[in-house]
Structure 1
Amino acid sequence: MSHTTQAYRAAILHSLADPSKVGVEQSYEYFEDGLLVVEEGQVLACGPAEELLVRFSGVTVTEYPDALITPGFIDTHIHFPQVGVIGSYGTQLLEWLNTYTFPAEGRFADAEVAAENAEVFLGELLRNGTTTALVFGSVHKQSVDAFFEAALARNLRMIAGKVLMDRNAPDFLQDTPESGYADSKALIERWHGKGRLSYAVTPRFAPTSSSEQLALAGKLFGEYPGLYMHTHLSENLKEIDWVKALFPERKNYLDVYDHHGLIGPRAVFAHGVHLCDDECARLGETGSAVAFCPTSNLFIGSGLFDLPRVEGHGVRVGLGTDVGGGTSFSQLTTLSEAYKVLQLRGESLNPFKSLYLATLGGARSLYLDDKIGNFAAGKEADFVVLDYKATPLLEFRLKQAKTFAEKLFALITLGDDRAVKETFAAGRSLHRRD
């Protein structure tokens, strides 16, 4: 056994498949007294402690009483430059951009500001148990450099890209089709595939990119293997009307991206609150994904995402916090809001489906389910330790739970960053709560 082999003992829960496809009982694995064995940053084994302690005798074991180990959370849509405006008052999407977002992003022309914010941003992700995220930078190359430098130092699996905007934005945030292409290409060659990092071609959304810029973005998306495409889609009704006016020749909002080659595997569209059936079908048949962002959709007043309908068309769906329009880095809090969104639609969200969305479902949306998302042997050892006694209320509530499903639901509903006891990436502890 390698001297780097470590084991972690607690209750352990991970997803095996989508509950919507295989049924709840077949969708997860739970060990009341479990052992997660990690070697060289990868999962070596996961199962009942009683069995694995015999098999791995002599391995150092860290025990976590009154705790639950799950895979690290995966955030499929978040804005790195918007941390400083999270929780800002009183607008919907288009006003939000002009009032808060664009001024905040303008500060990232300063490399020192970008570096400072990268430290805060990654610290918050890890403090909330998030180990992988699909991240918007600003229009500035240095914002992406700063983010990737900080992520590489922590050996995190992260995806990010420079925003592309050549119109309908302040002059200080605009690039050109040619400069956006050249800057993105330089960043790809510097960072894509380095460590556990990947690059995403990132047009902000159709209204802020000309057809020329979208065409070059589509060209770039096809030029390097394993690239991502990350943008916004059908978040707000006024936004959709704006897109219709700007691209009258296209049959719907998604068709704008489709026409320019910005669709397919590893293309992730944030929000999708107001998708039509044709758009859902096209997303499903092309292997594209949608990021469900409940806290921002409620906070900015965009609407209620129809999860069953979108998934019913075969669309991959992950969970996004959408900080800073979203109001929390916590995936637990985000799942609590997701439950409320579905309640308002007359639907329900089973706690094991919630776990899937935040872990294996997110990995599948990002085509990373061969690397992260659960504790299958050989996967990267990204995991989080959740504290059942994080707050007096949580501890009291969990004592009343009669089943593990009830316990998990209460943990999701009442949990937040305080519930995260420790966060590991590639087998290394990167956050430990005091």
Structure 2
Amino acid sequence: MTITLALRASLLHYTDDPALTEDGIHWHADGLLLLEGEKIVAAGDYAALKHLVPDELTVQHHPGKIIMPGFIDTHIHYPQTDMIASPAPGLLPWLEQYTFPTERQFQNPAHANDVASFFLDELLRCGTTTAMVYCTVHPESVDAFFTQSEQRNLRMVAGKVMMDRHCPEFLQDTAESSARDSDALIQRWHNQGRQLYAITPRFAPTSTPEQLHLAGELAKQYPDTFIQTHVAENKDECAWARSLFPNARSYLDIYDQVGLMRPRAMYAHCIWLDDEDRRRMAETQSAVALCPTSNLFLGSGLFDFDKAEAANVPLSIATDVGGGTSFSMLQTMNETYKVARMGGRYLPASRMFYTATLGAARAMQLHNTIGNFQSGNEADFIIVDPKATPLLARRSAHINSLEEQLFVLAMLGDDRCIEATYAAGKLVHSKI
């Protein structure tokens, strides 16, 4: 073992859901994080680990700061970066007026590279080190994204949108071409370095039964790939999906019938599910990407935490840019808390930080790779400044517990709190 980087600060990470066990949260007020190259070696109290630091290695000390795993955003659209905060009365008009025209430009590789570069830098600036990302129907958009991600050595998941009906002709593929293109992209990018591929039908109404069937065949052929799509976001969309697939028991069942529910499947929104849907999600280990800022922005509805947790559905939170209005997972926690409160649920901050780190990694079946400071995990982490703004500094002077500190960060924090971001042990963003 050769320690290559040692950082001293307060440390926060999880080994289990703090709602299930008090031992799930690990806090070291004076902590030490030790790395060997791209991997975590150890994390714990400074006094207990300092003897492992070689004499010739200087410990990087960040007093007053918190080191924690990088945030994981399980649902975001990189092509929508330039149309974030676009006004529309609802989801379907928003797609027609803004989303589809914006995505048309991604057949141009130069444009796709430019947006992908900005998008990834913005994620890193906000402390997000892994995301599940939608590209467009154009294979060029996927190549551009993964090329930019690979250059930064990030652990990213992305895929080409599959969409062969109910969209402008300039964005339509076909069932056959989408499967062929996706297969080629899987072979080119899945497990290429730290890149991972997601089979990506946009949502059931924009795919024919044939396209969804072929997506299911790909999911069966490549069982370690990811699956990502949308389901039950708003009532109009649900009614539309049911009218197009009258033989399905529910909107979610459309995907289930073609083999798109399994571990590593991520379903965005999941607001209007029923109890049988939730049971199937838990049974198949398909996960929810809760998108509170976009659900509020588009007036889609409020996620039901109690029913999801009663069914043991894997849960994560996501920004859903550009329907979501911030790249910041701290801001997303803020909205998550308010959505829960409107549903009569109090959500502790410790639970929100778990859901944005190890909880998301578990939902993605990547918990032995990212999400906490377990020895051997990839060294993706952030340095957080809890006094990054005058208001945060003043409020933090009156903190009485870790829970209160995390709550203040979730309510008042944003990108300004991220002092530095590391990916695979390398500094990839710094405010200084």
Match of 1:100 among 98, 101, 116: 98
Match of 2:330 among 322, 329, 332: 332
- Pairs within 5 Å for 1:201-350: 201-350=199-348
- Find the aligned partners of 1:431 and 1:198 in 2 and give their Cα distance: 22
Structure 1 partner of 2:9: 10
In the TM superposition, what is the alpha-carbon distance from 1:65 to its structure 2 partner? 1.6
Structure 2 partner of 1:20: 19
- Find the aligned partners of 1:65 and 1:101 in 2 and give their Cα distance: 44
Asked if the contact 1:115–1:146 (Cα under 8 Å) also holds between the matched residues in 2, the reply is yes
Structure 2 partner of 1:73: 71
Asked if the contact 2:165–2:208 (Cα under 8 Å) also holds between the matched residues in 1, the reply is yes
SS at match of 1:256: helix
SS at match of 1:20: coil
SS at match of 2:140: helix
Cα-to-partner distance string for 1:303-341 (whole Å, 9 max, x where unaligned): 111122112212111111000000001000000110000
Cα-to-partner distance string for 1:218-273 (whole Å, 9 max, x where unaligned): 00111124111100010010000001110111110011001111111111100001
SS at match of 1:375: coil
In the TM superposition, what is the alpha-carbon distance from 1:139 to its structure 2 partner? 0.4
SS at match of 1:337: helix
Structure 1 partner of 2:152: 154
Structure 1 partner of 2:36: 39
Letter aligned with residue 368 of structure 1: L
Asked if residue 402 in structure 1 is aligned to residue 400 in structure 2, the reply is yes
- Find the aligned partners of 1:281 and 1:255 in 2 and give their Cα distance: 12
Structure 1's unaligned 5+ residue stretches are none
Letter aligned with residue 9 of structure 2: A
* Identity rate, percent: 51
Cα-to-partner distance string for 1:403-422 (whole Å, 9 max, x where unaligned): 12111110111000000000
Letter aligned with residue 37 of structure 2: E
Letter aligned with residue 129 of structure 1: G
Letter aligned with residue 242 of structure 2: K
Match of 2:132 among 126, 134, 139: 134
- Find the aligned partners of 2:12 and 2:303 in 1 and give their Cα distance: 27
- Find the aligned partners of 1:19 and 1:7 in 2 and give their Cα distance: 27
Question: Which range moved further: 199-208 or 53-62?
Answer: 53-62
Asked if the contact 2:285–2:314 (Cα under 8 Å) also holds between the matched residues in 1, the reply is yes
Structure 2 partner of 1:51: 48
Asked if residue 111 in structure 1 is aligned to residue 109 in structure 2, the reply is yes
Letter aligned with residue 5 of structure 1: T
Residues matched between the structures, number: 431
In the TM superposition, what is the alpha-carbon distance from 1:15 to its structure 2 partner? 1.1
Cα-to-partner distance string for 1:326-364 (whole Å, 9 max, x where unaligned): 000100000011000001111011111011100000000
In the TM superposition, what is the alpha-carbon distance from 1:91 to its structure 2 partner? 2.5
- Find the aligned partners of 1:323 and 1:269 in 2 and give their Cα distance: 15
Letter aligned with residue 155 of structure 2: R
Please identify runs of 4+ aligned residues in structure 1 that moved more than 3 A. Answer: none
Asked if the contact 2:87–2:94 (Cα under 8 Å) also holds between the matched residues in 1, the reply is no
- Find the aligned partners of 1:219 and 1:241 in 2 and give their Cα distance: 26
In the TM superposition, what is the alpha-carbon distance from 1:57 to its structure 2 partner? 4.1
Supply the RMSD in Å over aligned alpha carbons: 0.9
SS at match of 2:222: coil
Asked if the contact 1:13–1:28 (Cα under 8 Å) also holds between the matched residues in 2, the reply is yes
- Pairs within 5 Å for 1:375-386: 375-386=373-384
Structure 2's unaligned 5+ residue stretches are none
- Find the aligned partners of 1:200 and 1:307 in 2 and give their Cα distance: 26
Cα-to-partner distance string for 1:189-227 (whole Å, 9 max, x where unaligned): 100010011100000000000000000010011112411
Match of 2:410 among 406, 409, 412: 412
Asked if the contact 2:305–2:345 (Cα under 8 Å) also holds between the matched residues in 1, the reply is no
- Pairs within 5 Å for 1:168-183: 168-183=166-181
SS at match of 1:152: helix
Letter aligned with residue 379 of structure 1: N
Normalization by structure 2: what TM-score?
0.98
